[in-house]
Structure 1
């Protein structure tokens, strides 16, 4: 039996059919890849970006947001994709050297260039909003405040993004944008709302502490005094002039025979509570219901979001999930700890912040209890929030949401292929690839022309 086959005939058999199968297989694979890449690339390139810089009373942060160009209910679906904390203080601290205010932003702006795709630079808006620090600087010296904003604008304009301006955000705007952020992230926008906001300028945590110190100095009029809002064993020397340069405190101290005071901590919660209460007026109220200093406050009901300093302080003290009574007891215990023990327990926390947590805890309990009228019964409805999902709780996302609505509406984007067509082509190309692979396997394992040659 002759099982041989001439080499030329075998080569012709493989060459014809293999070429056809390989060509069809290649075309099917190219088609499959092209469908996938085209659809995915079209989706990815349609993202838009926005940058918001928040310069508050203590520091500046940069937030990078992303949303699809197509609108959903006329509002861009905005999410935070990254953030950068700017080294150094907030921009109002550069009042004596405004140029450095702009330079301080460069490191984070350079970082933003690595996050936003280069092809999106020119269409990416950049906004800088300043809050309490610059509001106070403007009250003190409008010319210098404008110079600081000018230097900041010059720096931001030097980047390839679309700089849209640097402005001082009012307290009412800050409150409203914060409300928008929280409710947007929690998915609560199902109807229209009536919103009440009020900003207590000079009563944020940092300025409230300064007010307390000034009132203590007024009462004691001594170079050394014991402060119940600092830990036992804590000592600090403060220049009187540093207190009086703040517009919240200007003219509040009489002429004193000394230029410095030395604070010695005693860590007594009840005495600290009394000391902090003095900066608020809880008795005067021309309305049916007030918070403090004669300012109206609506009745307390529903759920409440407490963020920014409220969250950071209560989270540090581990009080975000406890009752009102437990919170008071834990703050009492914390305040009474000797300063050297506190430093040993929290070696990674900067002393600048660590020194103020006792005061801050007492201050928050007074604001929420005496000011906003929370009680043991409704305390569980306060939610101390740092982040919601991947986004920081604060006013910047609400600001960006508002700004995306001001961008002219584009024609809704449509993918190159409809969903049904895309799926259908994927199925067809995939089946074609599998069928050709099967035929190729059968053909190359035992070619038909080889079988016919067997005698």
Structure 2
């Protein structure tokens, strides 16, 4: 807010709306303690109301909204909602607007997938969203997997793994030589780990890293129950998922983890390259990582092996992304210097900045404009040729003419 006060002129404070949307962390808190969640929103509202801006309120947005706003952000920044001609950027009335990108969002507590499926068919009503933007209808599929953000997924994996171990867990998702002590209560207090909760004879867990990608991935795969699908296609936990099509922008933790691993070039890396890179990182000794990445907090550094493996596993097992389709996944941090995330889509929706109908088109259609430009060019060429012919005649021509 202090930054906003610096860049926005004082005369526009009252005209500047401020919105606050809370996501999966608050959704989990509401499940665990609704009263505490309400108190947090009340405190935030009181704090933001003290500023001179036009505060519009704070609320917890749903997972469906979070997925939809991320999809809007990507396609708005990529210019997918408006088709422009290549001549003077004239608006056209062409019905074949550009194919939209899908959106893959990975946070700490949840993950979302949102895209327009082939034939715009969504079998499950709870996964269907309808938008009319710039005069075009979009039937969008979206789902938010609460508890499958990278942080909560790690807690789930640890809570699952301690069911068959004593107080020492040799974990392949942490680098060899890594040691960490966790309180069991930190694992069992999350709403996401309740299905693994049981009475244990110890109160602390010692994690010893062994650094093995294949074993780590097999452990992560157990988080996804892919049996008993009631639809034509499913993700996991009996959730409908249409076949993926088109290109996808993967952002938030998808991007930050891949950026750390140097896997975010403009041209997408192959699935094999990504797997080999994560596999090599997981195999590196912990002491070596600490020396090479001394400026990174040890907690975050220690979890990159799990996070990289989890991203690969999520895309492969939950979303059924094949090696051939992997080239359609683009890890995005910014588009045209704007951050990629759900927040821009949230603001665009609340402020009605995206019209339902196509803005007025230019006076001339693209085809008419091209025809007139060609006609004008031909007339211009004819005039030039005529002028050259007339003014380069011999002098006797002019005398005879007189």
Separation in 2 of the partners of 1:224 and 1:256? 13
Partner of 1:199: 144
Partner of 2:331: 384
Q: Secondary structure at the match of 2:43?
A: helix
Aligned residue pairs total: 299
**Larger helix share, 1 or 2:** 1
What displacement does 1:406 show? 7.6
Alignment of 1:55-454 (within 5 A): 109-190=1-82, 191-220=136-165, 222-250=166-194, 252-320=196-264, 321-405=268-352
What displacement does 1:407 show? 11
Contact 1:179/1:398 (8 A) holds in 2:
yes
Separation in 2 of the partners of 1:141 and 1:213? 23
CA distances 1:205-238 after superposition (whole Å, capped 9, x unpaired): 1100000000000122x11120000000000000
Mind listing any 5+ residue stretches in structure 2 that lack a counterpart?
83-135, 356-402
Contact 2:234/2:240 (8 A) holds in 1:
yes
CA distances 1:229-276 after superposition (whole Å, capped 9, x unpaired): 000000000000111211112363211111001000000011101111
TM superposition score normalised by structure 2? 0.73
Separation in 2 of the partners of 1:392 and 1:343? 30
Separation in 2 of the partners of 1:239 and 1:168? 29
Q: If you compute each CA radius of gyration, which structure gives the higher value, 1 or 2? A: 1
Separation in 2 of the partners of 1:301 and 1:355? 34
Partner of 1:447: none
Contact 1:138/1:144 (8 A) holds in 2:
yes
Separation in 1 of the partners of 2:312 and 2:243? 18
What displacement does 1:118 show? 0.9
- Bigger Cα displacement from structure 2, 245-254 vs 288-297: 245-254
Q: Secondary structure at the match of 2:170?
A: strand
What displacement does 1:111 show? 2.1
- Over the aligned positions, Cα root-mean-square deviation in angstroms equals 1.5
Q: Secondary structure at the match of 1:405?
A: coil
Mind listing any 5+ residue stretches in structure 1 that lack a counterpart?
1-108, 409-455
Tell me: higher relative CO, structure 1 or 2? Use CA pairs within 8 A at least 6 residues apart: 1
Contact 2:348/2:354 (8 A) holds in 1:
no
Structure 1 pair 251–304 and aligned structure 2 pair: CA distance change class (3 A):
closer
Q: Secondary structure at the match of 2:20?
A: strand
